[in-house]
Structure 1
Amino acid sequence: MSSFIVILLVLIGGFAILRTAIRVVPQQRAWIVERLGKFDRVLSPGLNFIIPFVDRVAYRFDMREIPTEVPAQVCISLDNTTLTVDGILYLQITDAVKAAYGSSNPFTAVMQLSQTTMRSEIGKLHLDQALSSRQMLNAAVANAVDEAAVNWGVKVLRYEIKDITPPQEILHAMELQITAEREKRALIFQSEGQRQQQINTSEGQRQLEINVADGRRQAEILRAQGEAQAIELVANATATAIRVVGAAANEPGGIEALQMQLAKDFIEKWGNLAKAGTTLVIPADLGNIGAVVGTALEMVKKSGTRT
């Protein structure tokens, strides 16, 4: 019975020692093994063996990307305005040995360096620049921290600002400024609209007056052309009639017929003249109608002779 207990104890001890010697490292993990207090090797993912009581796993690191929140801190801008800034830092351990022995706490070191760098970068900018330059601040912090974290085996992938919060009185003043700026733009747009409306109205009125004047000018031209053509037609007709009368006077019996027509026309005209007004001027030789007709006949004869 005692021998059985001894064997059982030996088996249990051997199993315990074997379990201590076997190490299964998960994927994307790195374990640092020290032998008698001195760095020995890095265990890769999978099944690994160590020497019990001689080797020990001193550090265990996660090699995946690690998002870490940067606590809010108060920064002072170039124009002496206090800003509360917080963010997120994305880290990844690339060298497990440097992470174990380069710094007692690499994550704390990276965090502190990112805060001091952010305070320095904010101090270079005015308030408006700090609020509108997040991308520049992110890149500046990430580059500065990454350069220093190389000795700690840490790679800074990126830094993102979560919030930049000015004091309440600054926020209130900014809101008033934005409201005033919007009202100013609204007034400018309104005045521009009124100006454009007046320009369009004046242009329309100007074009209307031009069109009316052009229409009047065309009408006057057409009227003058019509009157000129009418005068020309009347003159041509009169000239033709005179030529016909002159030609007819040279025919046999033409003078007698013309004499009778002139006497008739003379009497009708004087009769119409007496009816048209109450005052009538009578020539001295009105009774000598023959002399008047004779004078007219002489003019017709001359005209006929010329034709």
Structure 2
Amino acid sequence: MIATILVPILVVFAFIILFTGIFTVKQQTSAILERFGKYRSIRNSGLHFKVPIIDQIAGRINLKVQQLDVLVETKTKDDVFVKLKISVQFQVIKTNVYDAFYKLESPHDQITAYVFDVVRAEVPKMKLDDVFERKDDVAIAVKRELNQAMSDYGYDIIKTLVTDIDPDSQVKAAMNRINAAEREKVAAEYIAEAERIKIVAKARAEAESKRLQGQGIADQRREIARGLEESVDVLNNVGINSQEASALIVVTQHYDTLQSIGESTHSNLILLPNSPQAGSDMLNNMIASFTASNQIGEAMKEKNAKLLAAKPKPKRKRDTPDREEETE
């Protein structure tokens, strides 16, 4: 009777001992095995056996790459408060699982403390603009400090990144205003340069137009003078002297002008004098003025000739006695 009762109990007890003596460890994980509270061994991924009740799994260590994000608020050299987000990627060294498990209680708190210490030592040396430009220097300083400190605890710092730089909201607004003002300044310079180019091009076009217009007027006047010269030669051939010929040409142009004004229906121009007798008076006046002008010119020529004739000639200097002696 007693044996019948004990057999099932022993079988159940054997199964319990068997199952408690078997355990598995996942991939990229290490298990720390202790016996009566003392370190015994480290078991990696796979199926393992332990002595039931006597051996215990003290803990498991994750061997995967982990990331810790630390938000640090500090002050720059130009007294601007800024928040930096530092991402630390770390991993437990597989050969140093013992140190990682037994030497360090809270690796996240330890890493956070070192990040705060390094960032608050490096950033106050820089101005705000330098923090944005040299954020890699901050990341390198954090990694260097963490590697020196965490390698003793079995941790390897793979990468540190400054993933965000967030100044105070008022500072960001001021920076945006400065940026907008700089862009407006550049835009104004480009607009002014475009206007200058337009003005220069317009001035060059006007100068070229004036030059061509002046050249046209000069050519026109040259042709008119040539035509007048030919007209005077023709009139001289029929017995009309130069003064009468010039006066006749002017009177002819006067009447041609009156005719062209009369042909225009919308002209308000009035040419004076325009009476029939005015042409005869103008012709007589012009002939008289040309004759008087010639007489005055001839009188001035005679006067200048007499003055030149009456002016004494300069005497030549005699040679000095020394010069004469040398000649002798």
Using the size of structure 2 for normalisation, the TM-score is 0.59
Distance 1:48 1:190, change over 3 A: same
Q: Distance in 2 between matches of 1:35 and 1:73?
A: 43
Written as runs of structure 1 = structure 2, the 5 A alignment for 1:211-290 is: 273=239
Q: Which residue matches 1:46?
A: 46
Q: Does 1:83 align with 2:76?
A: no
Q: Distance in 1 between matches of 2:142 and 2:78?
A: 21
SS class of match (1:61): strand
Q: State the Cα deviation string for residues 105-135 of structure 1 (Å, max 9, x = none).
A: 2222112212222222212211121133333
Deviation of residue 208 (structure 1)?
A: 6.5
Distance 1:128 1:214, change over 3 A: same
Q: Does 1:160 align with 2:158?
A: no
Q: Distance in 2 between matches of 1:89 and 1:10?
A: 54
Q: Which residue matches 1:259?
A: none
SS class of match (2:175): helix
Distance 1:185 1:149, change over 3 A: same
Written as runs of structure 1 = structure 2, the 5 A alignment for 1:155-234 is: 155-202=156-203
Q: State the Cα deviation string for residues 21-51 of structure 1 (Å, max 9, x = none).
A: 2121111111112233333221011111122
Distance 1:181 1:18, change over 3 A: same
SS class of match (1:56): strand
Distance 1:170 1:3, change over 3 A: same
Check whether the contact 2:87–2:163 (CA below 8 A) recurs between aligned residues. yes
Distance 1:16 1:181, change over 3 A: same
Q: Which residue matches 1:100?
A: 101
Distance 1:26 1:195, change over 3 A: same
Deviation of residue 60 (structure 1)?
A: 0.4
Q: Which residue matches 1:57?
A: 57
SS class of match (2:125): coil
Q: State the Cα deviation string for residues 255-274 of structure 1 (Å, max 9, x = none).
A: xxxxxxxxxxxxxxx9x649
Q: Which residue matches 2:17?
A: 17
Moved more, 139-148 or 181-190: 139-148
Distance 1:206 1:42, change over 3 A: farther
Root mean square deviation of aligned Cα: 3.4
Q: Distance in 2 between matches of 1:215 and 1:19?
A: 118
Distance 1:186 1:20, change over 3 A: same
The one-letter amino acid paired with 1:123 is P
Say how many residue pairs are matched. 229
Distance 1:213 1:17, change over 3 A: farther
Deviation of residue 203 (structure 1)?
A: 5.1
Distance 1:190 1:55, change over 3 A: same
Distance 1:212 1:155, change over 3 A: farther
